[in-house]
Structure 1
Amino acid sequence: MNLNQLILYRPLKVECIIEEPLSAFLAWQKEPDQYEIDLFHQLLKVKETYAIDGQLFQVYITLLLAYHENSFTLALERKEEIDASLKAIVLSDLSIIYHLFHYDFSCLNPLYQPMFKDYKIKKHMMDPQVHHLLSELCDHLANTSSIEAFYDVLKEHYSTYGVGFYGLNKAFRYDQHKIIPISHVESYTLSDIVGYSSQKEKLIANTKAFLLGEKANNVLLYGDSGTGKSTSIKAILNDFYQDGLRIVEVYKHQFQFLPEIIHTLQNRHYKFIIYMDDLSFEDFETEYKYLKSVIEGGLEEKPNNIIIYATSNRRHLIKQSWSERQNVDEVNLNDAMQEKLSLVNRFGITILYSHPAKDEFLNIVDTLAKKYHLEMDQEELHAQAMIWEIRNGGFSGRTATQFIQYMVNKKVLETL
């Protein structure tokens, strides 16, 4: 393997910006004076895009290694043992990559040296956990002093987190027959959700069973709006990301593609939640039939690494009316009713999220005020919160969050 072949280690399905620096490096090696600026600018673009801590070129090589799917990385993702022959081939490749990673750039223009070594970007849109993971990987690789140590760091990383954009990203969406990474997910954790302890316990227990390969149920979280149903699923993802949990958001109009999505995901070692937010159907919508077949009833068995979590404001997902119950045109009226009720019955677990009582609402307000360092007399805070909830949707976690955000912003403006 030579440096030209190393171009094959560029990431798959990542912004095309990542493919350019290695070519610039090769050109710079041949004609340093002519291509020095281009090399620096190409590396800087990668740094600006990913904002990973570390030396510019080392950040770039780290990204290449973290994203590249091959026999070695995929075997470790599947928790397989690496035999001696494959390890020997990998070490041969890594002997070049290791020396490239530790390349001496002291000959670079002194003007670029400070930024090349220490340039950091404080603000970025990458998910905090993923950003920390990549920064940590880059740091560990930078501290290696042998090819074997370099190999061990990579082996540990691939075994723990996997490889490619499934390994590094938490969340995905389906778009035009492709699964697309979502670069930033709200960083809620279950501890951020005040109250709802029994609901969280059910969700955690089912998710843990799923991650352990035990029998787990599809889950429907239903109830009043603003009570934390969607937030609970985001929090589950953040809390169990390091255990191999991933999430794919699918919209109602995409249900016909569920078999295609499942086929794409079933051979990866991760555990995938197919997430359906605000799920409900009008009486004229028939997409629910695709979902019924996928959940239970089709010939193809749903893989053990895929589960469905959905949220809805409705207990019964398909709209019904009183006129339907008196429909004289439907010969088998009971069959028609059962058709509409059967979807929700295919979720093994249903969890109710209802509006909190007054005391629970004020407890959420107090907890959020403490979290966001809002210093205010509690009696006044509660009085303002009660006025806010009357005008803005009643008792709910969402109302409490919006109130605290308003008060924090108001305090900030008062200090200007």
Structure 2
Amino acid sequence: MSDQDKLALLERIAAALERLAPPPPRAPDFSCAEAFVWRAARGEFSAVAQINRVDLSLLEGVARQRDQLIDNTRRFARGLPANNALLWGARGMGKSSLVKAVHAAVAREKDCLRPLKLIEIHREDIESLPTLLAILREKPFGFLLFCDDLSFDGAETSYKSLKSVLEGGVEGRPRNALFYATSNRRHLLPRDMMENERSSAINPGEAVEEKVSLSDRFGLWLGFHNCSQDDYLAMVFGYARHHGLDAPREEIAREALEWSITRGARSGRVAWQYVQELAGRLGKRLDG
């Protein structure tokens, strides 16, 4: 085979390899939107035209959690040390709503070191976190990475990628990125997975819980619990007032309590579902 034939063959091989190998993920123009969704399978970001969120002032019954999370987020936005946060606890109590509302409130403040963007990563894409952080590392923005309803089951190993990111790894977490997650579990790994890691540890007696418990890697824990009747009604009245729903207060309270009994729970989600029912009956839209 002549040198020219060899060169032609090598060129064909190189072209075939380029077709097989996916192109490296490219960052979008982050200035075009406030929030993005990371699509790991395609290696791309989808800009969110309209974020599904409520105003911070409408979140009732979570004042302590709100104050702690907004303080942590402000410090991050100002270039100061801040902790990754785990919001855990009762369903429907506003964990994800609080993350989105806090992002909106802090992003509007004028003393941010750099524009603050919200990046949602789906639970099934957690394994791609190192790739995502590599893309964001040198960008002139602050990024709140947000994963809703995070937990791990069975033989999943993607939690190890999260452990590495939260602990910093060799490179360390980028200073322009912070990770917020919500979960119904305080401990993200079920007990059987924790026992498996314990049994395979070289020295099981040496602080195994610290090494096994993934939630320990979050510096800020915020617990959410089932709300009282007063807090539940405050949520209902707050939504009704905000959306201009004109009905007698006593009637709203009676119906809202009946609604919660039929749902078997009192929570922000149940309060919002009742308000949607009320607005529909009154012929009112719930825009904005």
TM-score bucket of the superposed structures, by smaller chain: 0.7 to 0.9
Question: How many Å apart are 1:389 and its aligned residue?
Answer: 0.5
Once residues 194 and 36 of structure 2 are traced to their aligned partners in structure 1, the CA distance between those partners, rounded to angstroms, is 38
Whether the 8 Å CA contact 2:70–2:106 is kept in 1: the answer is no
Whether the 8 Å CA contact 1:393–1:399 is kept in 2: the answer is no
**Pairing 1:262-301 to 2, within 5 Å after superposition:** 262-301=133-172
More strand by share: 2
1:197 aligned onto 2:63:
yes
Residues 110-138 of structure 1: per-residue CA shift (max 9 Å, x gap):
xxxxxxxxxxxxxxxxxxxxxxxxxxxxx
Map of 1:57 onto structure 2:
none
Once residues 191 and 316 of structure 1 are traced to their aligned partners in structure 2, the CA distance between those partners, rounded to angstroms, is 29
**Pairing 1:79-94 to 2, within 5 Å after superposition:** none
Question: How many Å apart are 1:193 and its aligned residue?
Answer: 0.9
Map of 1:222 onto structure 2:
88
1:289–1:369: structure 2 CA closer, same or farther, 3 Å change rule? same
Extract unaligned runs of 5+ from structure 1: 1-163
Structure 1 runs of 4+ off > 6 angstroms?
none
More helix by share: 1
Whether the 8 Å CA contact 1:389–1:399 is kept in 2: the answer is yes
1:172 aligned onto 2:43:
no
1:186 aligned onto 2:186:
no
Whether the 8 Å CA contact 2:73–2:103 is kept in 1: the answer is no
**Pairing 1:308-327 to 2, within 5 Å after superposition:** 308-321=179-192
Once residues 249 and 153 of structure 2 are traced to their aligned partners in structure 1, the CA distance between those partners, rounded to angstroms, is 45
Whether the 8 Å CA contact 1:220–1:311 is kept in 2: the answer is yes
Percent of counterpart pairs with the same letter?
Answer: 34
**Corresponding residue SS for 2:118:** strand
The aligned amino acid for 1:382 is A
Count of residue pairs brought into register by the alignment: 247
1:324–1:240: structure 2 CA closer, same or farther, 3 Å change rule? closer
TM-score where L is the length of structure 1: 0.56
Residues 376-400 of structure 1: per-residue CA shift (max 9 Å, x gap):
2222211111110111241101100
Question: How many Å apart are 1:339 and its aligned residue?
Answer: 7.1
1:212 aligned onto 2:83:
no
**Corresponding residue SS for 1:286:** coil
Residues 313-349 of structure 1: per-residue CA shift (max 9 Å, x gap):
100001115x986x8x947666796377431011000
The aligned amino acid for 2:266 is F
**Pairing 1:27-66 to 2, within 5 Å after superposition:** none
Map of 1:362 onto structure 2:
233
Extract unaligned runs of 5+ from structure 2: 1-27
The one of 120, 126, 132 aligned to 1:249: 120
After superposition, the CA RMSD in angstroms is: 2.4
